[in-house]
Each structure stands twice: as structure tokens, then as C-alpha cells.
Amino acid sequence: MQRFHVKKGDEVVVLAGTERGKRGKVITILTGKQRVIVEGVRMIKKHQRKSQQHPQGTIIEREGSIHISNVMSAEKFDARAAKRGVAPENT
């Protein structure tokens, strides 16, 4: 089993991509694909077919996955920013 620099429940900052700079908690780690799902980041729309709960069908928004190399622990990120003399952003 691989070891990663973040764990489930850690607060992370996205370093690259369209969601750059966003913060959130790690919901799940997909070890086989080396990806993480972060709360509130990379929201995708999933279409649900008709069912008893949703007789008309529905569109659900949920989090997509991000490659693990594109996230960093928020503590490490803030320490790095403080070392450079840049005020951390509260997003």
C-alpha cells in the first residue's frame, strides 16, 4: 500500500488547475489512481435516472477527484507563505 503526504480529514490547498487556491477537507483518497476527493472542490454534475426517490430524474452536484500531486497540506502551505512574507489568503 502506498503512503501519501495527506490523509483523510486533512485540510488541503489546491496548488494547480482551475481550482487553484481553494481549500477543503480530504473526503476520500483513491490509492489506485493516486487521486483525492476534496470537499467543495471540482464540483461536477451527475445525472440520475428516474427512480422512486426522484420520479422526474435529477441532476446531483458532487465533488470530482484531483491528482494528489496538486494538493498540499494547509499547514505546510501557510508556513511556506509566512516564510516568504506573503499573507495567507482566507478563501
Cell of 35: 487521486
Q: Which helix (H) or strand (E) holds 72?
A: strand 71-73
Q: Is residue 37 part of a domain?
A: yes
Q: Is residue 3 part of a domain?
A: no
Q: Is residue 27 part of a domain?
A: yes
Q: What CATH number should be reported for the domain holding residue 60?
A: 2.30.30.30
Q: Which amino acid is at 51?
A: S
Residues 6+ apart with CB under 8 A from 76: none
> Tell me, what's the pLDDT at 58?
96
In contact, 36 and 29? CB cutoff 8 Å: yes
Q: Is residue 6 part of a domain?
A: no
Mean pLDDT by 10 residues, the chain (91 residues): 90 95 96 96 96 94 96 94 76 53
> Tell me, what's the pLDDT at 81?
87
Q: Is residue 89 part of a domain?
A: no
Q: Is residue 63 part of a domain?
A: yes
Q: Is residue 25 part of a domain?
A: yes
> Tell me, what's the pLDDT at 76?
94
Identify which of 57, 62, 56, 65 has the alpha carbon closest to the alpha carbon of residue 29.
65
In contact, 12 and 24? CB cutoff 8 Å: yes
Number of domains into which the chain is organized: 1
Q: Which helix (H) or strand (E) holds 91?
A: none
Q: Is residue 5 part of a domain?
A: no
Single pTM value for the model? 0.81
Range of 57's domain? 11-84
